[in-house]
Amino acid sequence: MDSKCKVLYIDDEKINLLVFMKVMEAKFDVLVALSGAEGLEILEKEPDVTHVISDMKMPEMSGLEFVHEASKTFPDKRFYLLSGFAIDDEIQEALDSKLIISYFTKPADYNKIEKVLVENN
Amino acid sequence: MDMGDTRLPTELLMGRLIQAEERVAALTQMLNSHEEMYRNLFNNLGDEVHQWRLIRDDRGAIVTWELVDANPSALKSWNKTKEEVIGKLTNEIFGYDATAQFMPTIRKIFEMHESVTWVEYFEPTHQYLSMKTIPMGEYFISTGRDITSDILAERRLKESEQKFKSLFKNSSVAKILVDTHGNYLDVNDSACELLGYSFEELMMMSISQIINAPLQSEDTYFQRRNEASEIEIKRKDGEIRMVEVFTKEIDSNQYLSTLIDVTEKRKNERERILAEEKLRNITNSVPGAIYQFKFHADGSYSMPYISERAVDLLGFDYEKMMDVNFLFSRIHPEDMERIMHSIFEANIENTLWSQEFKTLNSAGAIVWIKGYSYSIRDFDGGIVHNGVFLDVTEKKQAEEALRVSQQEYQNITENLPGIVLRHRLTAEGRNELLFVSKGVEDMYGVPAEEVMADNQLIWKRIPQEDFAIFMALIQESAKKLSPWKFEHRVQLTDQTEKWVLMKGIPFEQYDGSIIWDTIGIDITPQKKAEQELEQLNKNLEDLVQERAMKAIKLAKELELYWLAAENAKSGVWRLDMRTNKLEWDDIMYQLYGIDRKDFSGAFDAWGKNLHPEDKDRAINDFNEAISKRTIFDSLFRIINPNTHQISHIRAKGKVELDEEGNVIAVYGTNWDVTREMELADEREKALNTLKETQSQLIQSEKMASLGVLTAGVAHEINNPLNYIHGGYTAIKNLVEEQKEIERAELSECLEWIKIGTDRATQIVKSLNLFSRNTNSLIEECSIHALIDDSLLILQNKYKGRIDIIKKYSSAQPLVVGNSGRLSQALLNLLSNAIDAIANKGAISIETALSKKYIKISISDNGCGIAPEIIERVIDPFFTTKPPGKGTGLGLYITKAIMDEHNGRMQITSELNKGTLVVLELPNKNV
């Protein structure tokens, strides 16, 4: 039996993390972080994380800033954004440059997320 | 022995026997009577008598003794019955070791076989006893007499004698003991000292030798015994002393005298009397009454002293003035309570008492008294006021007269037209206003009270250049002490101007300052008349000049006129009223597009060419000018009969009158204003377009804030939606994948949904405020709620980078107005503050309530506004944001919202430091 692939989810709202874990833990091995900085620490410690999903609007470091930062050290990870905002120029650019694979909107469609993650596994 | 004798007669023997028996009987009888006597004596004797039997040990030594008998006196003294004591040992009887006490005496009497008499204290009965004990074989008899009282009396006598001796000897008061002849029996040390003689010397003398004869004799010395008398004595050294003598007969022929030296006392008394006399003389030479008034500790009061000059005060005799109650009764009823109160207060405070009060004199007239006193606490707990009463009636009357005259002065000044003022120039050059009459309000538009508080209020009303003259005049007046006069203008707040003439007279004061008494009167009407007259004169001159110039000009102008008229395409016309003939020049025909030959020259012919819509109006204008003899001035359209082209014509005309004032002709010009009209039209259109654009922009600003709003709201609402949707998804998964659902798990998911719903509801609620589209200004708006809602919407713009510091007032600020619009104003300001902070910073929001206003201060530490543009930030379309980012209407709209709420907005800013916006809105409670 395949071991579940490891997903890191970052959001500054705790309930979002709880919800994500509850819904996704059946399919994935879910790790969570409350900020970009915490996310970077986890990536250091957990080399077998394959997918990284981040919220966009966060204090200190935005989701996109985090992805920019993390992709420098971990270029092989697959990054995604999950946000309540509509896509703007910046995000479009990130999508175009393949910095992020997909941009999910809140409220999250977990089936879709699951599907996309599996496709990009 | 002779046998023969034995036969001697029996008779003789019998006789002898009988004799013996008789003698025995007699002796027995004697014995019996003795026995009875003894018994009687024993029983009735006042002295105690008791008989004791010795008890001896084996060797015959006396151990103790037991009672054989005791008489009633003894029993009484021992407080026992006979049965209790007979046959008992002595120690048993007294419960006391009497054996030990008396053993030496008992042994002595039995050794010596003699009775002994002695005195001894017997403790069990507390008695001093005079005892006699008699030995009788193995018995002894004791008698005892109670001498206790005798002994105690003797002892007391001895003690009192000793006491007397000691008292006499040691007394600090001189005491002498003399016999009836006046010879000294004894004297004490104090007496020796007083009289200046030694004890031995005095013992050789008699009393008469020391009495200062012949003033007092020896007789008086004795006559006055048992009562004190005063005598003069002559000491050994010749000094005379005053002595108080008290003599008492203490024994027959013995007199005890006590001598007290009162020389000093008498001397002091004499001095005191002299001092009092002196004081009386002094106090009587002082105007007013000097008094001493005393409050006793028991609450009563008295006046131990009042000087005789008191009679001057109220016209009552001295007897009456000494009566303190009478004095109180003369205090005027109006002042009574105040005075009594002040006296009691001075009692408590122990301070200087000083009061002025009215009293009534003997004639019933008012006398003003000023009283001063200083109170001190007496040694016996009372309070003593030493003071003086002065008649201050004259001073009071003068004060009253002054007060009345000041009041009159004030009344006059208040009722005078104009103002009266008094001001001072101090030595340091400071201007002080000392008085200004009420007229200042009429003249300068400022109430007198305010002027008194701040004299700048009137100087500010005087134009700068006039004020400069005033200062110069004042300086000159101060220098020369000459009266000054000054005409100046006054600019009132309603923009009207007044002329005021001030005249003042200076007085130099002792301290170097100068006081002016000044009056000011309104001379505006005179001034105006003057100015008009001046203008009129000037006009007249100008008119003459003008006329001359005109005459010269006219000829030239006429020529030029035609030239100009032709060039300006101005047609000239003239209507002769008498012939109704209308004359046109060539240009008129050109303007109207008709040939001269086609024109009838009648007035009606003109009307035919007018545009039907303008015809009536133009003709009406013309007729009106004629009837009113005014200038004809009209604007109308004409239609070219050939081309049907429409032209706009401006017509002007003047009526020409004959001597009687009848209109004889009207003449004037016509010119084509079609071009101008078209331009005006275009301008109006352009203006309309502009207005429309402007309102569109205002709308777009609303849309922009709506944009800010939706962007924020979308994010804010998507998070709670994510909880709800997540919760739903999780529950769905549970339901589909597990047979049994754990309660805790389900409840967790439901909790997310609940939190999400609550948050979304809150956001939608705050949004309602902005979407509300009402123009009413009657809602009650809570400023704190509006700020909080605005912050919620803007959260995504500042969260994580800007600290919001709220300093809300404790009381709830409420404003009546339109909550939607107020929210928009606050949103704009907060949004600006957030935008001003490029990275990290803080925004402080402070609210404060005053009686009338609610103050909201929003400050940021952002980029600030440059001083050269701060004036323009409220202008519509002014923006510093990059193109497309701001409409430049935010502050303009905010200002408009503040205006419609009767509020104010003030912006202060410093470049690179931050901006502070202060809003003031009327408090709802007003």
| Interface predicted TM-score (ipTM) | 0.82
Contact A107 B724 (CB under 8 A): yes
* Among B722, B755, B796, beta carbon nearest to A57: B796
Residue A85 lies in a domain: yes
Cα B651 from Cα B632, distance rounded (Å): 7
Q: What share of chain B is helix, strand, coil (3-state, %, to 5)?
A: 50, 30, 25
Q: Packing angle between helix B674-737 and helix A14-24, nearest 10 degrees?
A: 50
Peptide bond into A75 cis (omega under 30): no
- In this structure, of A24-28, A38-42, B220-224, B345-349, the range with the lowest mean pLDDT score is B220-224
The rounded mean pLDDT for chain A is 89
Q: Which residue in B708, B710, B719 has the most chain A C-beta atoms within 10 A of its own C-beta, making it the best mutation to test that interface?
A: B719
Relative to beta strand B841-849, strand B814-817 is unpaired
List, for residues B282-321, the tens digit of each pLDDT value.
777 777 888 888 888 888 888 888 888 888 888 888 888 8
DSSP string, B325-342: HHHHHTB-HHHHHHHHHH
Handedness of CA B760, B763, B769, B770 (dihedral sign): negative
Cα B849 from Cα B846, distance rounded (Å): 10
Contact A26 B711 (CB under 8 A): no
Q: Report the 3 state secondary structure along B653-690.
A: EEEEECCCCCEEEEEEEEEECHHHHHHHHHHHHHHHHH
pLDDT for B182:
75
Min Cα separation A59/chain B (Å) = 4
How many CB pairs lie under 8 A apart between chains A and B?
69
Backbone angles phi, psi at B528, to 5 degrees: -65, -45
Cα A77 from Cα A42, distance rounded (Å): 13
User: Other C-beta atoms within 10 Å of B255: how many?
Assistant: 20
CA distances from B551 to B74, B554, B558, B560, B561 (A): 178, 5, 11, 15, 15
Cβ–Cβ under 8 Å, residues B505 and B517: yes
Relative to beta strand B419-425, strand B841-849 is unpaired
Q: Which residues of A touch B733 (CB under 8 A)?
A: 23, 26
Min Cα separation B758/chain A (Å) = 14
Cα B455 from Cα B789, distance rounded (Å): 50
Contact A19 B726 (CB under 8 A): yes
Nearest chain A residue to B802 by CA distance is: A59
Contact A108 B733 (CB under 8 A): no
Contact A22 B722 (CB under 8 A): no
Cα B830 from Cα B846, distance rounded (Å): 12
Cβ–Cβ under 8 Å, residues B705 and B824: yes
pLDDT for B1:
43
**Per-residue confidence band for A1, with pLDDT thresholds at 50, 70 and 90:** very low
* Among A20, A83, A106, beta carbon nearest to B721: A106
User: Which helix (H) or strand (E) element contains residue B905?
Assistant: strand B904-910
| Residues found in chain B | 926
Q: Which residues of A touch B719 (CB under 8 A)?
A: 13, 16, 84, 106
Number of domain units in chain A: 1
Q: Which two tokens stand for residue A61?
A: 């470091």
Q: Which two tokens stand for residue B244?
A: 């108080």
Cβ–Cβ under 8 Å, residues B295 and B322: no
Min Cα separation A8/chain B (Å) = 17
Min Cα separation A76/chain B (Å) = 29
Min Cα separation A40/chain B (Å) = 19
Query: Can you list the residues of chain B whose pLDDT is less than 50?
Result: 1-4, 214-216
What architecture is domain B291-395? Answer: 2-Layer Sandwich (3.30)
CA distances from B878 to B164, B544, B686, B887 (A): 125, 56, 21, 8
Q: Which residue in B708, B716, B729 has the most chain A C-beta atoms within 10 A of its own C-beta, making it the best mutation to test that interface?
A: B729
Check CB contact of B725 with chain A, cutoff 8 Å.
yes
Cβ–Cβ under 8 Å, residues B439 and B417: yes
Contact B737 A26 (CB under 8 A): yes
> Residues near B895 by Cβ (< 8 Å), separated by ≥ 6?
B874, B905
pLDDT for A41:
94
Identify the CATH number of the domain in which residue A32 sits: 3.40.50.2300
What are the helix (H) ranges across B583-673? 586-592, 603-608, 612-628
Contact B801 A15 (CB under 8 A): no
Q: Which of B329, B327, B310 is nearest to B388 (CA)?
A: B310
> Residues near B94 by Cβ (< 8 Å), separated by ≥ 6?
B78, B124
Check CB contact of B712 with chain A, cutoff 8 Å.
no
In this structure, what DSSP letter does residue B739 have?
Answer: S
Class of domain B417-522: alpha beta
Check CB contact of B800 with chain A, cutoff 8 Å.
yes
Cα B461 from Cα B492, distance rounded (Å): 7
* Among B714, B729, B733, beta carbon nearest to A84: B714
Cα B64 from Cα B56, distance rounded (Å): 7
Domains B291-395 and B690-922 share a fold: no
Say which amino acid occupies B750.
L
Burial class (CB in 10 A: 0-12, 13-18, 19+), B293: buried
pLDDT for B532:
81
Cβ–Cβ under 8 Å, residues A49 and A29: no
Containing structural domain, residue A88: 6-119
Cα A84 from Cα B796, distance rounded (Å): 11
Contact A84 B726 (CB under 8 A): no
Say which amino acid occupies A56.
M
Residue A1 lies in a domain: no
Higher-pLDDT residue of A117 and B45 is A117
Domain boundaries, chain B: 25-146, 153-261, 291-395, 417-522, 524-567, 568-672, 690-922
CATH topology assigned to domain B153-261: Beta-Lactamase (3.30.450)
Check CB contact of A19 with chain B, cutoff 8 Å.
yes
Percent of chain B with pLDDT over 90: 9
DSSP E strands, B252-298: 254-261, 289-295
CATH topology assigned to domain B568-672: Beta-Lactamase (3.30.450)
Check CB contact of A24 with chain B, cutoff 8 Å.
no
CB contacts under 8 A, A 47-76 vs B, are 57-60
Q: Which of B107, B147, B103, B109 is nearest to B125 (CA)?
A: B147
* Measured distance between the N- and C-terminal CA atoms of chain A, rounded to whole angstroms: 16
Percent of chain B with pLDDT over 70: 90
Sheet containing strand B174-178, strands side by side: B184-187, B174-178, B254-261, B240-251, B229-234
Check CB contact of A107 with chain B, cutoff 8 Å.
yes
Q: Which of B237, B230, B214 is nearest to B266 (CA)?
A: B230
Q: Which residues of B touch A83 (CB under 8 A)?
A: 715, 718
List, for residues A68-103, the tens digit of each pLDDT value.
999 999 999 999 999 887 788 888 999 999 999 999
pLDDT for B884:
52
* Among B718, B722, B796, beta carbon nearest to A19: B722
* CATH number of this structure's domain B690-922, picked from the four choices 1.10.287.130, 2.40.160.10, 3.30.565.10, 3.20.20.10: 3.30.565.10
Cα B430 from Cα B471, distance rounded (Å): 12
Nearest chain A residue to B756 by CA distance is: A15
Say which amino acid occupies A2.
D
Nearest chain B residue to A35 by CA distance is: B800
Calculate the CA dihedral of residues B827, B828, B834, B835 and round it to 10 degrees: 150
Q: Does domain B25-146 have CATH number 3.30.70.270?
A: no
Backbone angles phi, psi at B611, to 5 degrees: -65, 130
Min Cα separation B834/chain A (Å) = 15
Cβ–Cβ under 8 Å, residues B416 and B438: no
Cβ–Cβ under 8 Å, residues B131 and B119: yes
- pLDDT of A37 higher than 90: yes
Check CB contact of B804 with chain A, cutoff 8 Å.
no
Sheet containing strand B646-657, strands side by side: B581-584, B570-576, B663-672, B646-657, B632-639
Check CB contact of B741 with chain A, cutoff 8 Å.
no
